[in-house]
Structure 1
């Protein structure tokens, strides 16, 4: 589970992207301009949307942020004054269990604050009680796109059939660098991330189903995405100055030509490249990677905004992710 500091950083990143009109293409994130209106109908519909999102999340936690409006690319802000009242009403809409609220966090964004709600979805399906007797008394909602509908039998099979748990993946470092080969511009991506399986089971990433792309903002403000060729996903190299230990091999990451397996937890690095001209790269570029989890039936998607910098030793131009501070114990 992410710490409060990590969640705050993620919320701030999302708010920055919304203001720059960069699409938030994460199926596990939902943005709302405000809390629902104080009517039974609006509050029930809000609960139904969360239930549909939780049922279709495949067991992964979902994040709802109140106070960000992606359609208008604004951050009007919100407070948590209504949280306790809303949460009691929210739980009353369910037949039995409701998605458990893991974290609620007020995050300052500029001159306002937004409210982040992180829900556990591991005990799906979640069943709603209809408030009107003229309709069926129970429903299992399902999210499709940005709307909620009633789940079909096929949808329920996805929830009930045993699948591998989706691991937590935390980005640690991401660098895009330029290079030349045969008078052609080559861009290389190095994306380091920490993988952790909550169940302690092995996590397998089939290389052929993992993807990477670089996004360059055009003059009209839209992002031009260019896919990269994923070369490897390997154990991250670890070096130490301890006498007699120049290099430490990973004990939990195994790489083959077709897949990478992480036993429980470990640091891995994805390497990708492209021989193409993207035009003049801006001061910031977007890096997007998708890691398919074998057995889970879905991919974990990570996107980072990188800022132009120079290599401290060679002076070469590169684009780097802002270094994440290690979380302190709370």
Structure 2
């Protein structure tokens, strides 16, 4: 919402995070599979179509805020170049995915480029958690085949699915602690994600009582421990709780997928409105736009689920409304969002 000196951009311009999110959303909403029938069903998951959408953004500026690609992650660029190379040689999508997997399934390629764009998967397929999680992994593998990236996309999508299911059920019983439990009990295969998001081994099981149960999580979950420590220090310093930010050593916000996920989840759990969490996320520094994008994909689902008067307090605050009014090419974002919503609705 301020001028971007790195790329000489005016306020309200969204970056590669949003462009790729829009590409994925539009692909899910508009892909038409080959069919022998006269009317093929519109919309669906297809790796080649997604790569075509990303390539159109990269090469032609399609779904860019300014009509050109002005920022792109190294791993995404490499994946799209491999895809374009193989396509030019007449290779199949399977050939391209095999080469992408062989060349980019490395620790140094475990960036946040697939996690930052993954939210449309959960929004489109929230009725089937297993399918959504599988698609999340596959959506990552076309540019970020590293196992950590795939699992990060899977767990983040699973969280969005749980929120969407709770919102549509309108039971009102799903709390942030329930979401913490989802992350804590997820069957991780990646050790780094497991260490960052679960209760350490050797801790006695949680007590049954609701109050004691919550205290147990605050005492033992790594992110909740950090929130409690940071807020305690902020009280001593008389700082505003919702704006208190941990040190970079305590909460890194780099482009590493693990760091970005943990930072985004921290901002969600440490604040009580979309606005405050967003401000915290983009002020962590480092890869701020991506941490903000990852946070927002989950937090918006959470805070917008309340269709009562409280939604203006936790989601559509005056500042958030002002952000929306200043957004460059807002109509394009809304157009793609409507396409995705229509596709999701038609899957009933």
Q: Fold-level match, TM-score > 0.5?
A: no
Q: TM-score, normalised by structure 1?
A: 0.27
Q: Which structure carries more helix by proportion?
A: 2
More relative contact order, 1 or 2 (CA 8 Å, 6+ apart): 2
